[in-house]
Every structure is written in C-alpha cells, then in structure tokens.
Amino acid sequence: MVSYFLILSYLLAAALSPSFAIKNSFAESDCLQQQLRNALTQRKYETTEMCDLCDFPGSRKGGSIRSDLEISIRDNHLFDQSGKNVIDEMSASPSPWIFVMDGEGKIYAGRVAFHHTGFLGGRPTAAAGELRTIRNTSGQPVLVFKDQSGHYLPKPIHAKQFLLELDARGFDLNKVLVDLVPLHGLQLQKASEILKWAKADDPKMLSFLKHVMETSTYPLTERSIAGAKLFLANNDVKALKTLFDNKLGIEAISFLAKNSNTLPRQQLDTLVSFLGTNIRTFDETTKIAARKFLSSLVKEKTINTVKSYESFPDRAIPEIIELLRSPDDSIRLTTLDTLQKTRYYRDPDPLLTALNSASSSFRPATTQKVNHFIESERARISSKTVISAYFKNPHATAPELFGKLSHENEIIRKQALLLTETSIINEELRAPLISFIEQRIQALPSPVKAEMEAYLERICIEKANRVLDGLRLTSTEGRLAGFSRIEKILKSPYEREAITLANKLLVTPRHEELDLFLKTLVEQNKLELSPEVLKILKKVP
C-alpha cells in the first residue's frame, strides 16, 4: 500500500503541476528515487529480542521509538534528521556511535546517553552495534561497523542484514569495514567480502580461516588469531590442537584472553577442558601463559557454574563435582575458593549432600577441603536458623545462640560469630546476648574466652566511636546530646563499655568544652564512677 501511495502521489503532483515536477526534479530526484526504491522493495528482516537479563531501569523496554534519530541514505552518504553528514559527525567524535536497525530496515544511530534498547524502546532489532570512522591511505573517511551490543547480542546473520540494507540503499560497501564480534581480530574485512558469508560457520569463512592458520607465509599473529577464530566460530578442538602443535599457542592465548568475556558457554567449557588436559604437554613458556589464562577461565566458569545453582541446581551440581575431579590443581582450587565465597540463598542441602556422596572420588587434599566446606556450610545454616529465632525472641533465644558462639567446634563458633556480628547490629536487640555472655564469659575455656572478649571489645569500641562522633556536631543541641550519652555510658553498670569509652577519651582531640566536661566529672564525681573508670579519666591532660 505504501508503494502505490508514493507512486500515485508523485505522478499526480507531476500531472497537475508540470512546473512543480520540473522545479523539483533535480533537487529531489535522488531522494524521491530512494523513497520509491524503498517503497517498492518491501524488506522484512529476521529480528532478535532484547536479552532478558538486560530488562532493568535504563534499558527503556516498552519506551517510544526515537524517530528523531533515524538515519537516511542518499548520494552514498548517511544523514541525520537535521541534514548533517553522519560520516563527518563521526569523524569529529572521540567515541563510537551506537545504532540499531528494525525489521523493516530503518536505521537509528547517534552518540547518545542510553543503550541500544533506547532507540526502539526495547523492541526487537534486525541489527545492532557500533559505528565509527577511520582514514584510509588516501585520507578519506571509511565507515567501520562492529556488531557489538550487550543488550541484543546480535549474531553474524544480523550483521549481514545491516550490510544488505546499506547495499539496497545504494551505499558503497567498498567504503565499509567490518569487525564481527565472534570473529574479532585478524584484520578489518571489507564489507563487500563479509557479505558473501551468511554466518560465522559458513564453509567459506571456515575454509579461509583454516587456510590462514596453516599457511606459514602469514605472520604468526595472524595465523594464531585465525586458528582462535576458527575455534570460536565452530567450537573446533582440532583448531586448538593445531595451534599448540605448531607453537602458535601463546599468540592464540593472548587473543582469546582479550575476548574471554564474550566466549559462549560451549566454547568456554571446551577451552577449559582442552587446556586442563593438555597443559602438561606444552613447552615451559606456553605452559606459564596457558596456566595463567586457564586460571582466569576457570574462575569465570566456576563462578558462573556455582551461581547457576540458584536457578538450575540439577544442572549445576554435576558440573561442580566434575570441576572438583579435574586433574588440574588450579581448576580444583578455584572451584573450592568460589564455593567458599558464595552465599547461597537457595537451600544448599542438595549440593552438600551430593558433595558428601562424591567426596571419596576426589583427591585426598580436595576431599579434606570439601569436607571442611560442607561442615562450615552446615554450621552457617544452623547458626542462621538460631539468629532468625533470636530476632523474634532475643531473651528466650540468647542461651541457644551463646551455645553456638561458645561451641567446642571451632567451625561452628566462627560461623555463628560471623553471622552474629553482621546480622545483630541494633544495640537494643544485642543487649540480651551481651548480658548473657558477660555472665558466663569467665567460665569459658581459654580460646573461646579470648574470642568472646575480642567480640565484646569490638562492640564497645564501635559504640564509643559513635558517641564521640556526636561531639563533632556543629549544633549546640547535638554536642549536648553527645555529652549526655558519654555520661550514660560512663556510669553504666556494664563496666567494659565504660572503660573502653574512658580510654577513647584519652586520645580524643582536645577542645574547651570537652576539657571542662571531663574536669567536672573527675573533680565532682557526681556520677559515682567506678574506680577503674575514674583512674583512667584522671590521666586526661
């Protein structure tokens, strides 16, 4: 319908007003021809949805389409809505522009303060990426297109669609260079050549990469990158083996390391498995580089695997166990470290049960560390249950929580203390527990007593620091409230708090108000301070 309307409108205008047609034939002929060409060539491209994980504030899902940022093409140039030449604008820009193309071939671009999703309000796109310019050997600007978008994760087919659209609108593809994200490096390819390859695993592309990798006349860097790209394009383990057999491993590792954050899960798994299995066969220099790279890969893989337990426990558990069985030390150590540092919001019991069952199949050192992790995690779960009960009824639950804090098992004590310090921070809520500890601390065994003493000391120092911060307030009311709190703590029956605050007052920066306040306290002793507290305050200069 659109095409017929444009054609009829043009013919009608020309028929009714010949002078109009003549007057505008030169000024608008190119533009009108392009409109007619677009109208007569109804294009419908394959689109991709916005990544589910990217639907957060700022991604503009459901927003309006930014028609004001649509780009037009005429006379082999790109123009924005104000008529400015986009290539010239890009040449003056220090950073790339971002762009998207919708399913009908409309292109939207700009150097903007929002994400790719902002152009179409989070709707599907047929292409997305970055645009910039470089100068060729003649000093002329050349458009560089990179299909990089974290919100849409475009595939090579979407890159091809963008190039097809440029070609359909008469833009010279010999003036466009392309950098496909899944095939980074090697060199910027001419768009007219890339257009021949529909997707990354196209036989022509794979054949070309294989040729470069195996041809000794190519520089080592290009051969290595070609092999790495061949692996990325097709998860080709043979390509990896060829690289390392031909002493091209270090260059390949360097390239893959720079692009490790874009590795698909399947390629990541393959790479970890290959390096973990073959690293002992590499020469010393390659082995050092490979081990460092493997460590970073394993860290990323294990973090992703362990975190996936929250959403996909059935899939994550066997993967975690397999990592712990790896013959490579770095894989096992990184997995254990990640397990210990992760906080599990889903019930970890299925994971702990599976690890306990499989522990006999691990190496002795790994088994010992896994058993320690299981015990620590079970202690954490148990302490968390008690602390949850303490929040509801502190006085009734204080004895049970004290039992965890003073348990003969060091792992149980440490987990309970860690959770207590990070969870129970309100003074009023903490009071019943502090009172219970103070009443029984002298009867505790020496190591446990020392831990409890240190815990109580930390609480007292924290409270003293908060009180003294009040003296720094500029308002008179604020400072008076601070002095009032000092008096309250110094005459508190809880002598540990009073002594801690008195010692802090010794090293607090002097000022007239504080000096007068302390002098009055000491000379008149109306608060009837304890002898120990009074002794400390008398040392104040």
Exposure pattern of 114-147 as b/e (b: 16+ CB <10 Å)? ebbbbbbebbebbbbbbbbbeeeeeeebbbbbbb
Of residues 406 and 136, the one with the higher pLDDT is 406
pLDDT of residue 60 exceeding 80, the answer is no
Whether residue 500 contacts residue 464, with contact meaning beta carbons closer than 8 Å, is answered with yes
Listed residue (308, 282, 306) closest to 293, CA to CA: 282
Q: How far apart are alpha carbons 301 and 221 in whole angstroms?
A: 27
Please compute the mean of the pLDDT values over residues 434-446 and round it to a whole number: 91
Whether residue 232 contacts residue 208, with contact meaning beta carbons closer than 8 Å, is answered with no
pLDDT of residue 26 exceeding 60, the answer is no
Read off the pLDDT of residues 132-145 as tens digits, 9 standing for 90 and up: 887 776 677 778 88
Of residues 406 and 467, the one with the higher pLDDT is 406
Q: How far apart are alpha carbons 271 and 298 in whole angstroms?
A: 10
Q: Is the dihedral of CA 101, 106, 109, 115 positive or negative?
A: negative
pLDDT of residue 235: 79
For the chain, what is the largest distance between any 2 Cα atoms, rounded to a whole number of angstroms?
111
State the virtual CA torsion across 311, 313, 315, 318 in degrees, nearest 10. 150
pLDDT of residue 424 exceeding 70, the answer is yes
Listed residue (440, 434, 422) closest to 394, CA to CA: 434
pLDDT of residue 491: 81
pTM (two decimals): 0.50
**Which parts of 470-494 fold into alpha helices (H)?**
476-490
Share of the chain above pLDDT 90, in %: 16
pLDDT of residue 426: 84
Residue 379: pLDDT band (50, 70, 90) is: very high
Q: How far apart are alpha carbons 516 and 540 in whole angstroms?
A: 11
Q: Would you tell me how many other CB atoms lie within 10 Å of the CB of residue 477? A: 8
User: In sequence order, which residues have a C-beta less than 8 Å from that of residue 284 and are 6 or more positions away?
Assistant: none
Domain ranges of the chain: 2-40, 44-197, 383-444, 463-537
pLDDT of residue 410: 92
Q: Is the dihedral of CA 84, 89, 90, 93 positive or negative?
A: negative
Q: How far apart are alpha carbons 262 and 258 in whole angstroms?
A: 9
Q: How far apart are alpha carbons 264 and 235 in whole angstroms?
A: 9
- By mean pLDDT, which of 58-62, 270-274, 310-314, 535-539 is the weakest? 58-62
Of residues 470 and 119, the one with the higher pLDDT is 119
Whether residue 295 contacts residue 344, with contact meaning beta carbons closer than 8 Å, is answered with no
Please compute the mean of the pLDDT values over residues 255-260 and round it to a whole number: 77
Q: How far apart are alpha carbons 376 and 414 in whole angstroms?
A: 9
Please compute the mean of the pLDDT values over residues 360-370 and round it to a whole number: 91
SS3 at position 176 = strand
Whether residue 132 contacts residue 88, with contact meaning beta carbons closer than 8 Å, is answered with no
pLDDT of residue 15: 35
Q: What angle do CA 260, 261, 264 make, to 5 degrees?
A: 80
Residue 237: pLDDT band (50, 70, 90) is: confident
Give the chain's mean pLDDT.
77
Of residues 3 and 110, the one with the higher pLDDT is 110
pLDDT of residue 202: 56
The secondary element (H helix, E strand) that includes residue 141 is: strand 141-146
Whether residue 107 contacts residue 120, with contact meaning beta carbons closer than 8 Å, is answered with no
How is residue 50 annotated by DSSP?
P
Residue 306: pLDDT band (50, 70, 90) is: confident
Please compute the mean of the pLDDT values over residues 267-283 and round it to a whole number: 84
SS3 at position 263 = coil
Out of 78-87, 156-165, 169-178, 380-389, give the one with best mean pLDDT. Answer: 380-389
How is residue 85 annotated by DSSP?
B
Please compute the mean of the pLDDT values over residues 353-367 and round it to a whole number: 92
pLDDT of residue 161 exceeding 60, the answer is yes
**Which parts of 172-309 fold into alpha helices (H)?**
191-194, 203-214, 220-234, 237-245, 249-258, 265-278, 284-307
For residue 218, the cross-strand partners are none
pLDDT of residue 27: 37
Q: How far apart are alpha carbons 423 and 418 in whole angstroms?
A: 9
- Cα of 412 vs its chain's centroid, Å: 33
pLDDT of residue 308: 79
pLDDT of residue 473: 66
Q: Is the dihedral of CA 126, 132, 136, 139 positive or negative?
A: positive
Residue 409: pLDDT band (50, 70, 90) is: very high
Rg over CA atoms, the chain? 35
Please compute the mean of the pLDDT values over residues 525-534 and round it to a whole number: 78
Please compute the mean of the pLDDT values over residues 163-181 and round it to a whole number: 77
State the virtual CA torsion across 323, 324, 329, 330 in degrees, nearest 10. 50
pLDDT of residue 179: 67
Please compute the mean of the pLDDT values over residues 72-83 and round it to a whole number: 85
pLDDT of residue 149: 83
Read off the pLDDT of residues 503-513 as tens digits, 9 standing for 90 and up: 888 888 767 77
Residue 194: pLDDT band (50, 70, 90) is: very low
Whether residue 90 contacts residue 133, with contact meaning beta carbons closer than 8 Å, is answered with yes
- By mean pLDDT, which of 160-169, 372-381, 525-534 is the weakest? 525-534
Residue 396: pLDDT band (50, 70, 90) is: very high
pLDDT of residue 9 exceeding 50, the answer is no
Q: How far apart are alpha carbons 409 and 291 in whole angstroms?
A: 37
Share of the chain above pLDDT 70, in %: 81
Please tell me the total number of residues recorded for the chain in this structure.
541
Question: For 143, phi and psi rounded to 5 degrees?
Answer: -80, 130
Label the pairing between strands 176-179 and 141-146: parallel
Both tokens of 133, joined, read 């310019």
Q: How far apart are alpha carbons 507 and 502 in whole angstroms?
A: 9
